[in-house]
Amino acid sequence: MNILDKMNWRYATKKFDAERKIDADQLNKILEATNLSASSYGLQPYKVLVIQDPAVREKLRAVSWNQSQITDASHLVVFARYKDVAEGHVDEYMQQIARTRGIGMESIAGFSAALKGKVQQLNSENTVEEWTARQAYLALGTMLTACAVEGIDACPMEGFDPAQYDEILGLKEKNLRTAVIAAVGYRAADDALQHAKKVRKPMKEFVEIV
């Protein structure tokens, strides 16, 4: 299938086959693709948690409107944004750039200063949490596409109590807050929604050429 076939194939899976699991190679491929997602400045101000523990997932299901995807999907992925982004995060990122590219810190001093200025602006305007959440959603979109390419089903989800997720997963002490989640695995044979035609705007309404 080409990319359009794969994107037409995918849908927000409502019922997963609880007996089918994603193998380690496929999971790693999806996670690596997600790690390659676009991110503002490349900073990646979020963390991806893969929840496998059945007991933890039962607790999360209880604060997710009892949706079956939480426990029945092969894996549950939580995108947790950083609550605060400080200059220290920028310094760590600059050091990573220097190590990865084999360059001196002085060569990226201007970029570092610009990014620190952006972080200061976000903090002063109290918009840093909104910004980090948007970065997490970019990664979610990449994961959904990667799953489709690999023939793996997924369901992005916002129907949960973020504060309870933070509590159950111990995120507050890690300066993290739950942004969005996704269940990944394989659709159940009797999930009727898989046979429904995809409904989207006509291209002439969706796209405007200026």
Q: What are the sequence ranges of the domains in the chain? A: 3-89+118-206
User: What is the model's pLDDT at position 177?
Assistant: 98
User: What's the pLDDT band for 171 if we cut at 50, 70, 90?
Assistant: very high
Residue 181 to residue 63: CA distance in whole angstroms: 13
- The 10s digit of each residue's pLDDT in 89-106 is 999 999 999 999 999 999
- Ranges of beta strands (E only) in the chain are 46-51, 75-82, 153-157, 176-185
Sequence-distant (6+) residues with CB within 8 A of 85 are 43, 45, 119, 122, 123, 128, 132
Residue 114 has pLDDT above 70, yes or no: yes
Q: Are the beta carbons of 67 and 61 closer than 8 angstroms?
A: yes
Can you tell me whether residue 40 is helix, strand or coil?
helix
The per-residue pLDDT of the chain, averaged, comes to 97
User: What is the model's pLDDT at position 48?
Assistant: 98
User: What is the model's pLDDT at position 1?
Assistant: 66
User: Which two three-digit tokens encode residue 40?
Assistant: 């503002």
Count of C-beta atoms within a 10 Å radius of residue 144? 21
The residue-averaged pLDDT of 173-193 equals 97
Fold designation for 3-89+118-206: NADH Oxidase (3.40.109)
Q: Are the beta carbons of 117 and 43 closer than 8 angstroms?
A: no
Question: Which of 141, 193, 190, 145 is CA-nearest to residue 3?
Answer: 145
Residue 23 has pLDDT above 90, yes or no: yes
The residue-averaged pLDDT of 120-132 equals 95
